[in-house]
Chains A and B, each alone.
Chain A
Amino acid sequence: MSSSTTHTSTIGAIGAPSRRNTELALLAFAVVIPLFAYMNVGLALDGKVPTGMLGYGLGLGLLAGVGHIVVRKFAAYADPLLLPLATLLNGLGLVIIWRLDQSEKLQQRDNFIQAAPNQLKYSAIGVALFVGVLLLLKDHRVLQRYTYISMVGALVLLLLPLVPGLGMNVFGAKIWIRIGSFSIQPGEFAKIVIAIFFAGYLMVKRDALALASRRFMGLYLPRGRDLGPIVMVWAMSILILVFETDLGTSLLFFGMFVVMLYVATERTSWIVFGLLMSAVGAVGVASFEPHVQQRVDAWLNPFSDSTLAQTDQIAQSLMAFGSGGVLGTGLGQGNSDLIGFAANSDFILATFGEEMGLAGVMAILLIYGLIVERGVRTALAARDPFGKLLAIGLSGAFAIQVFVVSGGVMGLIPLTGMTMPFLAYGGSSVIANWALVGILIRISDTARRPAPSPAPNPDAEMTQVVRP
């Protein structure tokens, strides 16, 4: 805007270098660091370099390489940090899952399976979806067309686990469906689809929501016909999730909804309104849902006898973190398998806490923080409101998910049972999050791509500065 010759209409991004080589260099680190971690675990457990190391290195390198080539070719101006950070987390997660596979205590469990090979497979599918997003989605604005289909899609996805014969009840949460030998958690995908719906709807309605409102008790309330559909979708998803006792995802959707509404309307009253609603909702749900009451109880008194009798996961997780201390016990040398069946999924951060210590967990949290902030930056740089809303919705959801899971396993907030994106074992989570990163990369590519140089303006030559 400072110079009339560049024809800038948005801030800064135009003319940004592509940074593909930066990404490549970072990717090398993102592959090598988990590789060393893998070796470290092998040495600690068996005293020798693990035999699978070459295969693992090649596998992770291949995934990273494919991702990079596709980005280089189809999203050349994308943010250079997102892919390496996701790869690093995915790689470290694989190492820890493999490490937990070696635990005798977990192997003695009835339904034990080697989780690492599956996770590698899921990661490959995830990267394939990432590639698919970049290949098929040439411009994220295309997604606007699917606003209402997304709405239906999200509700269907959320309803699937309630379909008899398809849904499964695992450890009290009905959030899985089984197709053949695959079990899928549709909620993870619904997260992305519903963000598309919110972004598309809010982009159209944002002015109406922001301006055509009535003042009520100091707050600006929008008209029912503007807010109605979105509140309805949101309320339905929350209701469904309450039926499925998946509280983490309800919280996630709610947070995403509030964030996107706030960004779309630029009205702080939405935050106040959202917090009030969430407080009412939380108290309401907690008062009749025994599942929630247990969790709150376990959070408040992790070491009480009744909690330990119910599930000692939280206590075990806290003790794992405590035993890790500042520097940790070293990879492969902790006992986080005491947490039990969820050690490699919901509670995987506790293993990092024990074996890599405060230092390691802070690093992991900062990596997540970086991903989120790169996502927010993408939203800032995006030139269209739809892209802005979608990017902030996805990164907000990502941030909330990380906060809710880590806060849960660290005893900061009640446990809700979600998975750490990329780190935790679970196909749906890995695949959905790769798709999420794919979309963010697409938006950032569009945002940072230099505008086509303007056609030469024939008038320019003739413009004269007339000095008095």
Chain B
Amino acid sequence: MNKPLRRIAIFCGLLVLALLARDNWLQYVQADSLAKHEKNRRVTIERYAQPRGDIIVDGKPITGSKSTPGSDLKYKRTWKDGPMWAPVTGYSSQRIGATQLESIDDGILTGNDDRLFFRRTLDMLTGEKKEGGNVVTTLNGAAQKAAYDGLKGRGKGAVAAIDPSTGAILALASTPSYDPGDFAGNTNDEAQKFLDLDKSKDKPLVNRALRETYPPGSTFKVVTAAAALEHGLYDGIDEKTDSPLPWTMPNTTQPLKNEGDLPCKNASMREALRVSCNTVFGKIGSDLGKDKMLETAKKFGFNEQQFVPVRSNASNFPEEMDRPQTALSSIGQFETAATPLQMAMVASAIANDGTLMEPYMVSELQARNLDVVEKHSPKEMSEPLSKENAQKLQEMMETVVKSGTGTMAQIPGVTVGGKTGTAQHGVANSKNPYAWFISYAKTDSGSPVAVAVVVEDSDASRQDISGGGLAAPIAKNVMKAVIDSKK
């Protein structure tokens, strides 16, 4: 009986060998893909096993972490003033996932980033627990508060404020907002809250400052004015323009109307901007033609997504259009659409004497011990207009605030330039218009802030909606907050 016994012994050996082979396949060959499998909860457990690093504004964290006993996900995210900061931070939910900075810099915040590898290895050897690093933002707390408080009373809207000389984003507000702390955890309740927010018709989860494009209305006229100066259509801002009134758009029988009875006939560009003449700027756009307009718009950043590092939607200046459409586009109508960030970039390029800096909102990524992992240095993006032309435009915009439609934005002792906009939209312009205001402030040491404000679907009655009345006061408060915080 020994011969079959020996064979059985070999058979048993083969069984064990098969198991060993399978084990090697599982734990060596496939180990990585299984460990990182989308359904492997360990990935989530690992992510929330230690307090998350913080997002920092003005040297202070606006986020925190809270331990969650009774859950395998040990720490959840908390926010200070969640609704105010949500457009900056995004959310980080144990159940839903993360967005915006919380998602983009997740590696730093969780401590898993490869750039922290050396540190992590050291910590492992010394037995230190893994810790997340910090994301230091460029935001200005006071400006953000001014922006958020201003919008809160106005329903839906957004604010983007930029430091023109560097491109650093100072405020990024959007209302209605949401509190990311409401669904940071992993309970069904919190998941439901998220679903409710997601389905809400007010779209509180949308970051309007970066992701929503609106017709920019009259605020776009500064771009048209810049195109006129850059392409030499008119050299002086006080030179009479060739602007009949009424003006019928080329190849049509349709007259372009102004809002009210304005002194627009052959008005200078300064005057036309001051009172916001559609006829003057419509004709300028039409005279320049779509290619020149498009060229200038693109230099200001239109038709391209911006990464700050959060992605913004691309603003739109149409590439294919006939002459009347070009005229309409040049006054911010037809298919022209811009994000608040884009319009803030326009204002900041003008305030910065023609140089557009790349907008950004993360100045530094830090390891937990405050070692700098990555530092952002300001970068020039383009030069949409020359210094001289920029200064001419500044004069025009300052006139708007001094004695035009933008007087509500005046700040005593500070030079302010701005442009209002009231953008019609909806079928046959039936909906309440969007109130726009773009502006910059200037002090002796240059311009510290440029800002764009949009207020949509305000509860105010239709006649009362104007960029000057609704949006300008918010812009003023934001600029004032920035200037005050610099003192």
A residues whose Cβ falls under 8 Å from a Cβ of B: 104-105, 108, 259, 262-264, 266, 303, 308, 312, 315, 318-319, 321-326, 335, 338, 353, 357-358, 361-362, 365-366, 368-369, 372-373, 376-377, 379-380, 385, 388-389, 392, 395-396, 399-400, 402-403, 406-407, 410-412
Contact = CB atoms under 8 A, between A and B. Distances in A.
Contacts of B4: 262-263, 266
A323 B5 CA distance: 39
B373 interface: no
Contacts of B33: 322
A358 B8 contact: no
B2 A321 contact: no
Interface of A is mostly: helix
Contact of B42 (A319, A358, A362): A319
A373 B18 contact: no
7 contacts: A264-B1, A319-B42, A321-B27, A321-B34, A322-B37, A389-B1, A395-B12
Given A303-B37, A380-B5, A324 B13 contact: no
Given A303-B39, A319-B35, A321-B34, A403 B19 contact: yes
B201 interface: no
Given A266-B4, A322-B31, A410-B26, A366 B16 contact: yes
B259 to A, nearest CB: 57
B249 to A, nearest CB: 57
Contacts of B12: 369, 372-373, 376, 395-396, 399
B238 interface: no
A407 B14 CA distance: 13
Given A338-B41, A357-B27, A410-B19, A373 B13 contact: yes
B240 interface: no
Nearest to A380: B5
B15 interface: yes
Contacts of A400: 15
B72 interface: yes
B16 A325 contact: no
A399 B16 CA distance: 8
Contacts of B72: 104-105, 335
A266 B28 CA distance: 40
B27 A322 contact: yes
A325 B35 contact: yes
B1 A411 contact: no
Contacts of B40: 319, 322-323
A58 B35 CA distance: 38
A412 B18 contact: yes
Given A104-B70, A266-B4, A322-B31, A407 B18 contact: yes
Nearest to B43: A323
B30 interface: yes
Scoring B12, B32, B45 by chain A CB atoms within 10 A of each residue's CB, the highest score goes to: B12
Contact of B41 (A335, A357, A373, A385): A335
Contacts, number: 137
Instruction: Across the A-B interface, give the 3 residue pairs with the lowest CB-CB distance, nearest first.
Output: A322-B34, A358-B27, A369-B16
Contacts of A361: 23, 27
A105 B19 CA distance: 29
B22 interface: yes
A308 B6 CA distance: 43
Contact of B2 (A105, A338, A380): A380
Given A325-B35, A403-B15, A412-B22, 14 more contacts: A262-B7, A263-B5, A323-B40, A323-B42, A324-B27, A324-B31, A325-B28, A335-B72, A358-B27, A365-B20, A380-B9, A400-B15, A410-B26, A412-B18
Nearest to B70: A104
A326 B35 CA distance: 12
A325 B28 CA distance: 6
A323 B35 contact: yes
Given A105-B72, A403-B15, A412-B19, A322 B32 contact: yes
A322 B26 contact: yes
Contacts of B30: 322
A3 to B, nearest CB: 21
Scoring A319, A366, A389, A400 by chain B CB atoms within 10 A of each residue's CB, the highest score goes to: A319
Scoring B8, B13, B45 by chain A CB atoms within 10 A of each residue's CB, the highest score goes to: B8
A100 to B, nearest CB: 14
Nearest to A406: B19
Contacts of B486: none
A303 B13 CA distance: 31
B8 A263 contact: yes
Contacts of A380: 2, 5-6, 9
Contacts of A365: 16, 19-20, 23
A313 B34 CA distance: 14
B487 interface: no
B60 interface: no
A357 B39 CA distance: 20
A362 B20 CA distance: 6
B34 A358 contact: no
B403 interface: no
A338 B188 CA distance: 19
B17 to A, nearest CB: 9
B9 A373 contact: yes
A385 B42 CA distance: 53
Contact of A358 (B16, B28, B70): B28
A77 B164 CA distance: 91
B38 to A, nearest CB: 9
A306 to B, nearest CB: 14
Nearest to B41: A338
B20 A262 contact: no
B1 A263 contact: yes
Interface in B307-328: none
Contact of B5 (A308, A315, A338, A388): A388
A264 B3 CA distance: 11
Nearest to A403: B15
A326 B31 contact: yes
Nearest to B10: A376
A396 B16 contact: no
A319 B34 contact: yes
A105 B5 CA distance: 46
B121 interface: no
Contacts of A263: 1, 4-5, 8
B15 A321 contact: no
Contacts of B34: 318-319, 321-323
A169 to B, nearest CB: 30
A165 B19 CA distance: 39
B377 interface: no
B8 A392 contact: yes
A387 to B, nearest CB: 11
Contacts of B18: 403, 407, 412
Contacts of B39: 303, 308, 312, 315, 319
B3 to A, nearest CB: 7
Nearest to A354: B42
B24 interface: yes
Contacts of B19: 365, 402-403, 406-407, 410, 412
B44 to A, nearest CB: 10
Contacts of B1: 263-264, 266, 385, 388-389
A325 B31 contact: yes
Contacts of A377: 9
A259 B26 CA distance: 30
Contacts of A412: 18-19, 22
Contacts of B13: 369, 373
Scoring B13, B27, B34, B72 by chain A CB atoms within 10 A of each residue's CB, the highest score goes to: B27
Contact of A319 (B5, B16, B22, B37): B37
A398 B23 CA distance: 19
Contact of A353 (B3, B16, B27, B41): B27
Scoring B26, B42, B72 by chain A CB atoms within 10 A of each residue's CB, the highest score goes to: B26
B16 A372 contact: yes
Interface in B269-327: none
Given A319-B39, A403-B19, A335 B9 contact: no
